[in-house]
Structure 1
Amino acid sequence: MNAEDVAGACMSLAGSAEDYPFGPRTAVYKVGGKMFALLGEDADPPRVSLKLPPDEVVALRAEHPDTVLPGYHLNKRHWVTVLLDGVLDEEELRSLILQSYDLVVAALPKRLRPVPDAT
């Protein structure tokens, strides 16, 4: 996946919003006002930071130490930064994005949780 694919995957999720609080080359994806992904488009290679359960963070970093890094400027226990270098396949990366989104949605008050499309 490239940066454009990651952006599309993030925006396809119910209630997701894109924001640029850190400048024009770093997209932040939120649901219910809470961040679930941060996409650094100007890095080489591009990278996405995702929130995951602590045990998943440890396992992913052990399995892919050169591709899955501690969350850049984020809580290292809960966040990873994934290089979009082709090591993780599209299905695995989409799964991690969804897992991050679901984790954030589950922590939202019920009144802020998005309603999935009925289509």
Structure 2
Amino acid sequence: MNIEKLRDYCLAKKGVTESLPFGPDTLVFKVMNKMFAICGLERTPTQVNLKCDPERSEELREAYDGLIIPGWHMNKHHWNTVFIEDIPPKLVVELIDHSYNLIVASLTKKLQAELAAL
């Protein structure tokens, strides 16, 4: 997967916005104003930070050694850095969905209702 496909996929999800809050080189995707994906635009190879269940994070890091690593500049227990060009696109989509779903589940009931109404 490349950055354009990642961007298109993230923006197609309900309630998602994109912004550059950390400067022109870091693209952030949020659902209901909470981050679920952070992508460095000038980093090669292309990588994205995604939230992940801690147990699953460990499994993924072992299975994809060097391609899924603890989240760069993030809480390493809850975030992974994923090298999206080097792992199967189906897995990238699954990990984006997982991150999005974790954030949605953490929203207040009010925000979840607002998201559902979109």
When the two chains are superposed, the root-mean-square deviation of aligned CA atoms in Å is: 1.2
Greater share of helix: 2
Aligned to 2:105: 106
The Cα offsets for residues 71-98 of structure 1, whole Å up to 9 and x where unpaired, read as 0110000000001232x11111001000
SS at match of 1:62: helix
CA distance in 2, matches of 1:116, 1:82: 31
Cα drift, residue 28 of structure 1: 0.5
Question: Residue 85 of structure 2 corresponds to which residue in structure 1?
Answer: 85
Aligned residues: 116
Between 1 and 2, higher relative CO (CA 8 Å, sep ≥ 6) is seen in: 1
Counterpart of 1:7 in 2: which secondary structure?
A: helix
Conserved? CA contact 2:84–2:92, under 8 Å:
no
Residue pair 1:14, 1:116 contacting (<8 A) in 2 also: no
2:9 maps to what in 1? 9
- Equivalent in the alignment of 1:115: 116
Ranges in structure 1 where 5+ consecutive residues have no aligned partner: none
Task: Indicate the SS of the match to 1:82.
Answer: strand
**Counterpart-to-counterpart distance in 2, 1:106 and 1:51:** 12
Q: Give the match for residue 28 of structure 1.
A: 28
Q: Deviation string for 1:45-89 (max 9, x for gaps)?
A: 111000010011000000011100110110000000001232x11
Question: Where does the alignment leave 5 or more consecutive residues of structure 2 unmatched?
Answer: none
* Partner residue in 1 for 2:65: 65
Query: Normalising by structure 2, what TM-score?
Result: 0.93
Query: How far off is 1:25 after superposition?
Result: 2.0
Superposition misfits of 4+ residues, deviation over 2 angstroms: none
Identity across the alignment (%) = 39
Q: Kindly tell me: are residues 57 and 116 of structure 1, through their superposed partners in 2, closer, same or farther at Cα, counting changes over 3 Å?
A: farther
